[in-house]
Amino acid sequence: MLLLIFLLEAVAGVIAYVYQEQVRSELTLSMNGTFNSYYYFDQGRTDAIDKLQRKYKCCGALDFEDWRYSRWLKENPDVKNKVPDSCCITETPFCGVRDHPSNIHDDSCIGALEKQIKDHLNILGAVGLGFCLVQVFGMIFSCCLYISIRDYIRPKKHYNYER
């Protein structure tokens, strides 16, 4: 049972390190579509995108120019904003009318999220492999203890030579 737990922890640690290479492609695939298709049309996702842009001081999935191709602007020609107000450095109503880098954050949200996810995967991998190392020492010490105890418990054979 201990060996099974050890293997599961080792696999979790290794997968955490391996998955780091796929983080950017997964984020690009999912976030770009969400930003472009659902902003303004799905209130839950709109709130999440705005919160994300405020928290990480970013604008757009890859960059602020992503908003030019969004469904939000294509289907609402009366909107004067070029980016959502949550992109602005100092957020005020209709501050997204100007999409100049002096007015809005020009970092990508994918880059900010990728950094945080990779940091968490590093921690997860280190903890998983750290527990494995502790368990290896535990298994070694338990084998040594077993060998020591076995010698005391095993009855010693006495040979009777008086026959």
Kindly state whether residue 141 falls inside one of the protein's structural domains: yes
How many domains, in total, are found in the chain? 1
Q: Give the pLDDT of residue 47.
A: 96
Q: Is residue 44 part of a domain?
A: yes
pLDDT value at 63 more than 80: yes
- pLDDT for position 154: 66
Q: Please state the pTM of the whole predicted model.
A: 0.72
Residue 85 within a domain: yes
pLDDT value of residue 135: 84
The verdict on residue 9 lying in a domain is: yes
Q: What is the pLDDT of residues 109-156, one digit of tens each?
A: 999 999 998 898 888 888 888 888 888 888 888 888 888 887 777 666
User: Which residue has 């991998």 as its token pair?
Assistant: 125
Range of the domain at 102: 2-153
In a domain, 125, yes or no: yes
Classify residue 73: in a domain, yes or no: yes
Q: Is the dihedral of CA 40, 43, 48, 54 positive or negative?
A: positive
